[in-house]
Homo-oligomer: A and B are copies of this chain.
Amino acid sequence: MANEGIRDSLKERGIRLTRQRQILLDLIDKSGEHLDAERLYSLARQEDPKLNRVTVYRTLKLLKQGGLVDELDLMHLGGDQHYYETRMKQEHAHVICLRCGKVEEFFGEPLQRLRRQIEDHFGFNVIIARTEIGGYCSHCQVLRAREMAVAAELPPQPAVPKKRAARRA
């Protein structure tokens, strides 16, 4: 278990480390991807089928308020849900491909510089910074160019209804 930082932080504030929270904590902590509540719920149920969706939301809220996880939108590409990541890493921007949905992380000095400038300029006390960048990754740029060329030759396509996520069980 690698999430001792989080566990300690919770204990200090008298927050109980229940079985459900341990499951969720472990999942968030060791997941490579950016999980949303529904995905986290579905993973958690594999370990405890009784665990309720509401508990997932309550736990996420707790962690968010405690500054232990960051909440992301990832440009709302997958819908209006939120995504979560542990707040251990250095500040970084999320770079989201609008075509394939791949998410890259960018670390670099402009982020620190931006933070510093805003603190200086406004006398602002920065607590949390979120930078999300949408565009096309190198791979999708060529695919997209091709798609555009084809679309230009064809009569206007009948719009395919945007697929929504499957109704939850």
Contacts and interface: CB of A to CB of B under 8 A. Distances in A.
Interface of A: 71, 73, 75-76, 80, 93, 95, 97-98, 104, 106, 108, 110-111, 113-115, 117-118, 121-138, 141
Given A73-B73, A122-B95, A131 B129 contact: yes
A131 B130 contact: yes
9 contacts: A73-B73, A108-B121, A110-B111, A115-B133, A122-B138, A123-B138, A129-B133, A130-B131, A131-B131
B127 A98 contact: yes
B127 A114 contact: no
A67 B132 CA distance: 16
A129 B130 CA distance: 11
Contacts of A73: 73
The complex is assembled from copies of this chain, and their number is: 2
Nearest to A129: B133
Contact of A108 (B75, B106, B117): B117
A156 to B, nearest CB: 10
A72 to B, nearest CB: 10
Nearest to A110: B114
B106 A125 contact: no
A57 B106 CA distance: 33
